[in-house]
Structure 1
């Protein structure tokens, strides 16, 4: 009996539940959901159960998700004779090509990740991380709470102006040596590792260029209303900052306090080497120049027009070509994280191609909601969807729906669209929710359950803060 209990406990049980979740939609009929949507629901449940429980490694779950999408929701389904009922179940004329799912393994997001990995690797190799830690943290002293506050503030502010993915990759290179100096039993290790991605996600709210959902919403506002012949709404760069920066800063402080409460430090001070010593070899010089060039290119994208994904390829090419990163070092990079992110991107493609996303949104009768509840409901919808798929994809889906909802209910399109952007940016409960989360997860200092719990609490606090403060701040910014 004990052997039987041991067999079905833990990881084995989660794997069994994942397969049960995968099979359920094949045996029940859900009104309004196409055959393709039923299959996607099964794959979705399979992925969620394994990503949350870690029954198998997260990157292994991503590989399984990509395979299941190809077998059940691509043109391969027809070749296998499994395409019953699929012809009318897709948003396009036919199922996606299997190559579309494979292409997620070379997504532009993954290239951006790879560039961040190269910068982080060089920072560790040449001691740049230790030097940055000494320079940035010196004003905050050695008290753990102040060290965490300093790191989160620096991360949050940088994420307002440059890619939050690149910011996380850079700051994590600073944090990892600090984590390694702490005892394994010290819960503050977890707090340090979680604080960086949370701060990056929150900081991205602050400016229109901080994160893709902000830019998508501004693009939606700029579209012409066919009834009036004028833009749907207007929001300048400064106006966005007037309402978004206060929300971001307040939420950042609340997140800091929550992390201190959940993951207290066991020591009263953290020993940080404040001596700055720069390596002066030729390869180190190449790395310094490449890192500075890449970061400046990321921060000035609006001036030169080269997007952050293309910029992410510069350090990869330069550091490989110059031998700064050799073959052995190249093989040691965190490729498992890239596979993890690819699985999330592929799942997002499946969600949109099957109409599963529209079905989820259609479950809510938006017209029956009051103005206040409408805002928080669409914010919660954006948050929930962005937890499992790209926040850019979720915002792309919800932005036109938000405009339609505003027109149908007589609501303020600007406010409703801003709820969408903020909700999408507050999704940070899983390693796949945002690139910063995945980068921090690669450090190995926390497990998925710890991120789910703390990330979910911050998301709920963020929604409440947005509900209470956004109407007032929009009026102050001249948008209410």
Structure 2
């Protein structure tokens, strides 16, 4: 009896200590949030003041544009303000500082690629609305089998494919609950369930469920793990790590492998097509603009992108699949047979699929629209063969045209056939109510308008750097890289971009770098796409940290991974992906992108026209930039 009382008192004291630690942790988190809030305010107010001497002392168009760029770069890197809010700075600062007229700045916020992005998102929202993506993913899982290695491949293939067309975040958010259900079945058939295990599973499921619920919409790529999510995730993960493991090392390794497979496949899918991630649209815009200024086509089309980038993604995904097997599962374990366990997993997947019901007319219609837009993109300008784009006037039709056409069709096409169905009375007939595949309320709620603003702000900043002469000045300053081989310069750029996007938004990073890389390629005398294309793909090679991408943050929020797990695996994947990228850009990429055909205007140094003012002080005329 005494022993029982002692044990009970010990448990009470342990609970008190845990409550005290929890309260201390909560207080520390609250204090950190307050400090962080004031620090953000200081950064927002301090950056413009500290950078003010630049335009006041130099008093040139480049310095005034550089002042705006410094403010935006600092705020983008630190995310002291929402990224879309920072993107609005050119709208007020460029006209005020005399860099560009307001009417010129505003034109950058809606471009052809902006409409292409909106059209792609409309199809993605329709796919999500009618659960077509979930049916596709579950169908793949039923086909591949239930062995661990095939299950992991079954998770990666639909994640990769869907991430080409819809948000990486939405894809990961849809796949992760399925992964968690499969992991629960694998665990339950290896160990006996206990109250502690059930509690842990419920808490993890609730935690992951809340994260998924917040991100099931087509979330913006720059949406990063916020303070609340980070603190919650770390607390949950720490709590789980302190408890005794009842699943065993095998289940833990399997959980890590499956979750990492999801975020890797989502990132690879983002590189496979222009619509994969918002950062890809930045390259499309900058390349079209750079070549268009000289009356040429950039060659960056939906077809050329997939022809070059998709094989890279498939190679990287295959290596990632093999690496995760070797490190976390082991080839012997992943080939082991367990008929009872396999049957249980298959039942879970089959039950999830059964809950979707029979295939509806709306799903078939959305699938038809998806196939239509993909074929229209692929056949508009397939290269030397010529596509349907030649029917129209040269330069009048772009990839945005079929995107908006299919979007309009989604708002009109009925979600069900207008056949009659029995009513309440025997002899009475009634007709189904007309519902379109997509309505404005659903589209408006899930459309990431902040990404449209972010892209527009980046385009405005890039336009300002060109018109002020800042980009030409930066290009001249990069001449010190000329002695280096071209491939080494590209490798250094890819390393910079890849590791920068581990801690910053990939859209903001490439928005700042693309105009500079365009000038760098001109200075080097190489084809602009040889520098710009690898850089844009490297921006999606961010696997090391939870804050690198929203998909990484979602995976980390499930509590099965530590930061070290992501760093250890991610460093290997970053290295492999960069090596693959460098090999591919210098082999079939050279042929596919026609990099041998260097434009005639590349390699010509910009010469600034210097005039002598009456005061004998030399002034720079930003509009007189000539190419010799």
Q: Is the 8 A contact 1:171 1:196 kept in 2?
A: no
Shift of 1:200: 0.6
Q: Is the 8 A contact 1:36 1:86 kept in 2?
A: no
User: What is the aligned counterpart of 1:252 among 288, 312, 317?
Assistant: 317
Q: Is the 8 A contact 2:77 2:505 kept in 1?
A: no
Residue aligning to 1:116: 124
Shift of 1:25: 2.6
Structure-2 change in CA distance of 1:438 and 1:140 (3 Å)? same
Structure-2 change in CA distance of 1:301 and 1:107 (3 Å)? closer
Residue aligning to 1:58: none
Structure-2 change in CA distance of 1:14 and 1:348 (3 Å)? farther
Residue aligning to 1:293: 368
* Deviates further, 421-430 or 174-183: 421-430
Within 1, Cα distance between the matches of 2:491 and 2:176? 37
User: What is the aligned counterpart of 2:435 among 323, 331, 334?
Assistant: 323
Residue aligning to 1:406: 524
CA deviation string 1:243-266 (max 9, x = no partner): 65553333223344566789989x
User: What is the aligned counterpart of 1:341 among 434, 451, 456?
Assistant: 451
Matched, 1:45 2:74: yes
Shift of 1:457: 6.5
TM-score in terms of structure 2 length: 0.51
CA deviation string 1:36-88 (max 9, x = no partner): 5434533443343348xxxxxxxxx53xx444554x5434x6xxxxx8x9423
Within 2, Cα distance between the matches of 1:132 and 1:299? 17
Which has more radius of gyration? 2
Residue aligning to 2:165: 165
Shift of 1:9: 4.4
Structure-2 change in CA distance of 1:396 and 1:15 (3 Å)? same
CA RMSD, 1 decimal: 5.7
Aligned pairs for 1:192-341 within 5 A:
193-204=262-273, 244=309, 246-256=311-321, 270-271=345-346, 272-274=348-350, 279=357, 285-302=360-377, 303=379, 306-308=401-403, 310-318=405-413, 322-323=434-435, 330=441, 335=445, 338-339=448-449, 341=451
Within 2, Cα distance between the matches of 1:322 and 1:392? 44
Within 2, Cα distance between the matches of 1:134 and 1:353? 45
Residue aligning to 2:153: 149
Residue aligning to 2:175: 175
Shift of 1:338: 1.6
Within 1, Cα distance between the matches of 2:154 and 2:45? 48
Within 1, Cα distance between the matches of 2:544 and 2:588? 27
Shift of 1:137: 2.1
The number of equivalent residue pairs is: 431
TM-score in terms of structure 1 length: 0.64
Shift of 1:468: 4.6
Within 2, Cα distance between the matches of 1:100 and 1:474? 30
User: What is the aligned counterpart of 1:74 among 62, 83, 91?
Assistant: 91
3-state SS, counterpart of residue 120 of structure 2:
helix
3-state SS, counterpart of residue 146 of structure 2:
coil
Q: Is the 8 A contact 1:213 1:391 kept in 2?
A: no
Shift of 1:376: 1.6
Matched, 1:372 2:498: no
Q: Is the 8 A contact 1:429 1:456 kept in 2?
A: yes
Within 2, Cα distance between the matches of 1:170 and 1:291? 17
Q: Is the 8 A contact 2:541 2:577 kept in 1?
A: yes
Matched, 1:355 2:465: yes
Within 2, Cα distance between the matches of 1:8 and 1:66? 26
Shift of 1:373: 1.9
Gaps of 5+ in 1: 52-60, 78-82
